[in-house]
Copies of this chain bind each other. A is one copy, B any other.
Amino acid sequence: MAREGDEEDVLHTRPLLETHNQVLLRRSASNATSQVAIVGSNVCPIESLDYELIEYDFFKQDWRSRDQSQIFQYISMKWMLCFLIGIFVGLVGFFNNLAVENVAGIKFVITSYMMLEHRYTMAFLVFMVCNFALILFSSIITTFLAPAAAGSGIPEVKAYLNGVDAPGILSKRTLFVKIIGSITAVSSSLNVGKAGPMVHTGACIAALIGQGGSKKYGLTCRWLRFFKNDRDRRDLITCGSAAGIAAAFRAPVGGVLFAFEEMASWSRGALLWRTFFTTAVVAIVLRALIDVCTRGECGLFGKGGLIMFDVTSENVAYHLSDVPAVLALGVIGGILGSFYNFLLQKVLRIYNLINEKGHAYKILLACSISIFTSCCLFLLPWLASCRPCPADASEECPTIGRSGNYKKFQCPPGHYNDLASLFFNTNDDAIRNLFSKNTDTEFHHMSILIFFVTCYFLGILSYGVVVPSGLFVPVIVTGAGYGRFVGMLMKSHSNLNLGLFAVLGSASLLGGSMRMTVSLCVILLELTNNLLLLPLMMLVLLVSKTVADTFNGNIYDLIMKLKGFPYLETHAEPYMRQLTVSDVVTGPLQVLNGIEKVSNIVHVLETTGHHGFPVLDKPPISDFSLLYGLILRSHLIVLLKKKAFLPTPVPTGIDAAKQFSADDFAKRGSGNSDKIEDIELTEEDMEMFVDLHPFTNASPYTVVETMSLAKALILFREVGLRHLLVVPKGPSISPVVGILTRHDFMPEHILGLHPSLVRSRWKRLRFQSCSVINIFRASQTNL
């Protein structure tokens, strides 16, 4: 295995690679869990992120240990970056809406005018071809340019913030495709949302701004060097995802809460404040731009776009007698929401099978869903009968152009088609129509039912296709239909108006599907601008979440599991308490000496894929064999690249580090790291030595091998580690027994090593934080 050394005089320090460097573990099975994931229907390798503060003599990563001018640079840059993120996300969010409103608007205007001339078939064809072309474009750019841009992006960003780095999810290309693809997909009347893609867009913008353009073109700023690490990137991406929600819904506080409730795995007070600042910038940018638009300079953007449904009624009166209706709404909403998740998951599996067959199949799938959607949207309104315009309509009736509550469609003058007002509109306008007050008689209950059922299934069918697609808006629109329908049924039992029922219906379906509480509540309040709804909203969200949690998990968690991200949960599973760390640690373990021969390092790097190696000091350097610390693969590669070699194995101390600058060890954007294969070393180099001490993290976290696995997980998760060293309990040959990584804590891995646990009652009794038995999960673990 090792290259043989041939000089006798270095023999006493040359490690006996065969015997010592591979510390033998009791169990030498290797970690069998998948280290790849399906991101954007492409299989890609997964790495963990380094959130641990690395402390070695040469370079203290933490900004707190820098001098004053550097601290000033760091802090002012960080605020500046948050400001820029806010500006850009605000601009992109506005541009998104503007584009969607105009593209979809032109489509609806053209078809509406054709309808007016009774050229129905022609209108249908134009409508369908427009949608088809838009989806074709969107799916082609997604498939060929950035497959990682498909889907909502929220699961990917959530996994990233948990420490899972799937390459490509935060690249320039993904950003571009996400923006353009989302605009075209939403404009094509596919039942997909723009909120999820906005979150991903926000995260991409944050990551790219933090990276500061590309090094290749000399665009990077020197001050940005402080942000070339995963911790600061995580902070920025948290801000970016909050800004995304803020821009999508014009809900700055909701955005902050969403980022902290759903997205972030680690949160701190300072970060909360920074996120708040970012979303405040977004809110101000949006307000300024909307001011421009109210002057009528944004084409068809007018009233539509940037959803904000003002349901302020002078008098939101509700009484104890309304509570049963609201409870019923919550319970059914919870069941529908969890069933939504269940169906979506099934559909995604089928779609994955189709998508795996090749690019053509992916695009074909997207296009056929588009055609199906077009048919539904255009043909179903014919089922509804025309209704006469109300005498006291607050707005034009029937409407012919763009938005509006009363769509003419095929109806004679003075009449409107209530189903077309919902279907033959953008989702935003449909939501606005459903949420609006004083429209209790506008819709027939059959129309609402048809709309609800169609949206429910179209939403499920549309999500998995290879275009950027969010889940928020489809769920809101479906929920609004559902709420109005229930409201109509409950008419006799409640005094609430149907617009409020629609709002509460959206809340219940969102609660049943997304399972957030505070953030959904605030987002919906900001959307509807009515704080008096608060107690009812809270009630509905609590009920629907509780009900839905009895059946399955949060939709984003389900998708994350389907994609295979090794997401670390906060809590340990019960069976982890039965195990100790040494029960799961797998080998063989590769260790390095404090002063190591180059050939050995190269060999270790070439033969293993590990990202961290324990560094040992052995006699004669120390009295005993001691654990000095942990060195990262990326840092070893930098050392090899710079050729900071020594002819003889003597400690060099800090001087050797003089030829390095901190920038050399900066972590680059994901997918950009150097590989060992790219480094060329001569035979002479191979025989030389490297003093690893100055570059080794001398304070790695350790656990004793008898530590309970559950408690090791708590340490690993709370501190945000990538590697956790396992040390022996008593005197031992080697001062380190193994390394735990994220994959070692995955239930699949643990249950693979200890199949008996699968049958034990501990396994079946897996409770979620929501406290109810989770039956579905067991079937998903091997996905």
Contacts and interface: CB of A to CB of B under 8 A. Distances in A.
Interface of A: 53, 55, 60, 62, 64-65, 67-68, 71, 75, 79, 252-253, 256-257, 261, 267-270, 272-273, 276-277, 279-280, 283-284, 287-288, 291, 319-320, 517-518, 521-522, 525-526, 529, 531-532, 534-535, 538-539, 542, 545, 570-574, 577, 622-624, 626-627, 698-699, 701-704, 706-708, 710-711, 714-715, 718-719, 727, 729-731, 735, 761-762, 765, 767, 769-771
Protomer copies: 2
Nearest to A539: B280
Given A529-B532, A715-B715, 20 more contacts: A53-B711, A55-B577, A68-B765, A79-B771, A252-B535, A253-B518, A253-B525, A256-B518, A257-B257, A270-B770, A273-B517, A276-B517, A277-B542, A280-B539, A280-B542, A288-B320, A623-B730, A626-B729, A627-B704, A702-B704
A764 B273 CA distance: 24
B730 A624 contact: yes
B60 A577 contact: yes
A769 B701 contact: no
Contacts of A267: 267
Nearest to A769: B270
A305 to B, nearest CB: 18
Nearest to A74: B771
Given A257-B518, A276-B542, A534-B252, A711 B701 contact: yes
A300 B496 CA distance: 31
A542 B287 CA distance: 18
A531 B525 contact: yes
Nearest to A578: B65
Given A272-B517, A534-B252, A711 B729 contact: no
Nearest to A53: B711
B701 A706 contact: no
Nearest to A772: B75
Given A577-B62, A626-B729, A702-B703, A545 B273 contact: yes
Nearest to A731: B624
17 contacts: A53-B710, A62-B574, A62-B577, A64-B571, A71-B765, A267-B267, A269-B769, A276-B542, A279-B538, A280-B538, A280-B539, A280-B542, A287-B535, A522-B522, A624-B731, A701-B703, A718-B718
A525 B529 CA distance: 11
Contacts of A771: 75, 79, 270
A574 B730 CA distance: 34
B64 A577 contact: yes
B268 A570 contact: yes
User: Most chain-B CB neighbours within 10 Å: which of A320, A517, A521, A570?
Assistant: A517
Contacts of A277: 542
Contacts of A626: 729-730
A272 B624 contact: no
Given A261-B269, A529-B531, A64 B572 contact: yes
Contacts of A708: 55, 698-699
Nearest to A287: B535
Contacts of A268: 570, 769
CB-based closest 9 A-B pairs: A270-B769, A280-B538, A718-B718, A699-B708, A75-B771, A64-B574, A624-B730, A276-B517, A283-B535
A51 B79 CA distance: 35
Given A288-B320, A718-B719, A269 B570 contact: yes
A701 B522 CA distance: 39
Nearest to A549: B273
A269 B554 CA distance: 12
A657 to B, nearest CB: 17
A392 to B, nearest CB: 21
Contact of A719 (B252, B539, B715, B762): B715
B710 A284 contact: no
Contacts of A55: 577, 708, 710-711
Contact of A707 (B65, B534, B699): B699
A526 B535 contact: no
Contacts of A627: 704, 729
Contacts of A65: 574, 577, 762
Contacts of A706: 698-699
Contacts of A531: 525-526, 529, 531
A522 B253 contact: yes
A12 B340 CA distance: 69
B273 A573 contact: no
Contacts of A79: 771
A667 to B, nearest CB: 19
B284 A539 contact: yes
